[in-house]
Amino acid sequence: MAAARYFQRMRIFSAVFLAWLSFAAIAADVYRWVDSQGVVHYSDKPQAPNDKPVALPHLQTYAAGSGAPAFTAAETGSPAKPAAAPISISSPSPDETIRDAEGKFTVTVAANPRPGEGLVYFLDGVAQNSQPTPSTALLFSGVERGQHSISAALIGGDGEELARSADVTINMKPPSVRH
Closest-CA residue to 162 (of 117, 124, 121, 128): 117
Nearest to 127 by CA among 153, 156, 101, 88: 153
Q: What Å distances lie between residue 97 and 86, 100, 114, CA to CA?
A: 26, 10, 32
Can you list the domains of the chain with their CATH numbers?
1-61 (no CATH), 88-172 (2.60.40.10)
Instruction: Please state, in angstroms and rounded to a whole number, the distance separating the CA atoms of residues 84 and 61.
Output: 22
Rg (CA), the chain: 23
**Number of residues assigned to the chain:** 179
Choose among 20, 24, 1: nearest CA to 12.
20
Q: What is the pTM of this model?
A: 0.52
- The reported pLDDT for the residue numbered 22 is 59
Q: What is the pLDDT of residue 148?
A: 93
Q: What is the pLDDT of residue 62?
A: 53
Q: Which residues of the chain have pLDDT under 50?
A: 24-25, 66-76, 80
